[in-house]
A = this chain, B = another copy of it.
Amino acid sequence: MKGEEGPRAAVVLLSGGMDSATALAVARSEGVDAYALSIDYGQRHRSELEAACRIALGLGAVEHRIVRVDLRAIGGSALTDESMAVPTAPSETIPPTYVPARNTVFLAVALGWAEVLGLRDLYIGANVLDYSGYPDCRPEYLRAFEALAGLATRAGVEERVRYRIHAPLLRLTKAEIVRLGASLGVDYGLTVSCYQADEEGRACGLCDSCRIRRKGFVEAGLPDPTRYRVLPPS
């Protein structure tokens, strides 16, 4: 993308977790007018949606929409099926918190909104270093979605719009993400990462997401504002 002008405005996927909050802060620091988009997909940790509202406001999004997509109807993930447990130990393979086709659903809705708004840029907090091995966070996946987007849309066909997916955290460690966000004024106390956060947004301290988050703060040498029910090992 060298030599190309940066976006003026973009749709920013905002889950309510720390990565997407940091991605939003990066977009804002680049002068981007951010249209924040959260998906209420029936996630177990619904308090992340309230977190998303606070973050969108705090980081000055132009607009914030929450779109309902009922992924509980297909289940298949510990995040959308209460009968499946959220693991509390690391796994060698992709864990059951993986939600089938989640980022494809999210990016599809984001693409639709971008087209409605006349925008061609999408931001996502995808990351491939300190993460759970989800396939739809990898650069090859994101490139394939960019290719799809141009073929999928009226704007792509009639106006030859080339959609761009920005993943500013893609190759950062969690510690680097924490430092970057802190330098951009992200209040991580507003964010919810825990897969089984309670209604008040308190974290379990046991799941993958809590462990990775905790490790980020410890390695960054920054205070961790998370309200854990059990302090994760670090």
Which residues on A are within 8 Å of B, measured CB to CB? 65-71, 73-76, 93-94, 98-105, 108-109, 111-113, 115-116, 135-136, 138, 140-141, 144-145, 147-149, 151-154, 156-158
| Complex contact B109–A135 (CB within 8 A) | no
Q: Which residue of B lies closest to A145 (CB)?
A: B148
Q: Which residue of B lies closest to A136 (CB)?
A: B152
Shortest A178–chain B CB gap in Å is 28
| Complex contact A76–B112 (CB within 8 A) | yes
The quantity of this chain's copies bound in the complex is 2
15 cross-chain CB contacts under 8 A: A65-B74, A67-B69, A67-B70, A67-B71, A69-B70, A75-B116, A94-B157, A100-B111, A100-B112, A101-B111, A104-B112, A105-B112, A138-B151, A141-B152, A144-B151
Pick the contact of A116 from B100, B147, B158 — CB < 8 Å? B100
| Complex contact A152–B65 (CB within 8 A) | no
Candidate in A67, A73, A158 with the most chain B CB atoms within 10 angstroms: A73
Q: Which residue of B lies closest to A110 (CB)?
A: B101
| Distance A94 CA – B156 CA, assembled complex (angstroms) | 12
Contacts of A116 in B (CB 8 A): 74-76, 100
| Distance A115 CA – B103 CA, assembled complex (angstroms) | 14
| Distance A70 CA – B71 CA, assembled complex (angstroms) | 12
| Distance A102 CA – B75 CA, assembled complex (angstroms) | 21
